[in-house]
Chains A and B, each alone.
Chain A
Amino acid sequence: DAKTTQPPSMDCAEGRAANLPCNHSTISGNEYVYWYRQIHSQGPQYIIHGLKNNETNEMASLIITEDRKSSTLILPHATLRDTAVYYCIVRASNEKLTFGTGTRLTIIP
């Protein structure tokens, strides 16, 4: 029941910015956009979330389009340790997290 669409895989050169797209055309006004990632064999890790405005933290930036129907997660300087599956999730604050299939990001040395 994931409400998002992501490309199944992407590659990015080490040191470059990784831009991961996500479509969420049916997002509701009270739903936030979340990004989590799962490095091989580990538990998912929260990255960032946003509602309308672009957000930035120490891990990444989140760019949300004005109509909120899509967003992009940006890892500004990708390292090999950023190789993981990245999940884009839309969720209202009192709802459960529903993980889709995500994007498998591979950082190429």
Chain B
Amino acid sequence: DTAVSQTPKYLVTQMGNDKSIKCEQNLGHDTMYWYKQDSKKFLKIMFSYNNKELIINETVPNRFSPKSPDKAHLNLHINSLELGDSAVYFCASGGTDSFEQYFGPGTRLTVT
């Protein structure tokens, strides 16, 4: 009964490649998020979607493009991967009137 799931858990790829990370939540939440945690463990929000509509778009390179096919899914596509993109990416979800955000297990992306 995983609430927020992400695939893949680990992703190793070369510079210049394009890759996607998938996220699904079965909690019926309206809002989903992507966070990035770098090597220094700073956790920063990247995007937020509410009912498939982009709400928050932090200062993130436009190589990063979130896609929300439906309320339960928020995928992250990254073009032209760079070394600095190496990090752990967390997906999260929360209800419109909920104070809690539920985080997925993370995807560790390594760009070589």
Residues of A within 8 A of B (CB): 32, 34, 38, 41-46, 49, 85, 87, 93, 96-99, 101
Contact = CB atoms under 8 A, between A and B. Distances in A.
Contacts, number: 39
Nearest to B99: A49
A29 B101 CA distance: 22
A35 B104 CA distance: 17
A96 B56 contact: yes
B56 A44 contact: no
A41 B106 contact: yes
B42 A101 contact: yes
Contacts of B101: 44, 46, 97
B103 interface: yes
Contact of B102 (A32, A41, A46, A101): A46
A43 B36 CA distance: 11
A43 B35 CA distance: 10
A38 B92 CA distance: 13
B45 A44 contact: no
Given A43-B90, A97-B45, A101-B42, A32 B103 contact: no
Interface string B29-69: 00000000000011111001000000010000000000000
B45 A98 contact: yes
A12 B48 CA distance: 36
A42 B105 contact: yes
Contacts of A42: 105-106
B1 interface: no
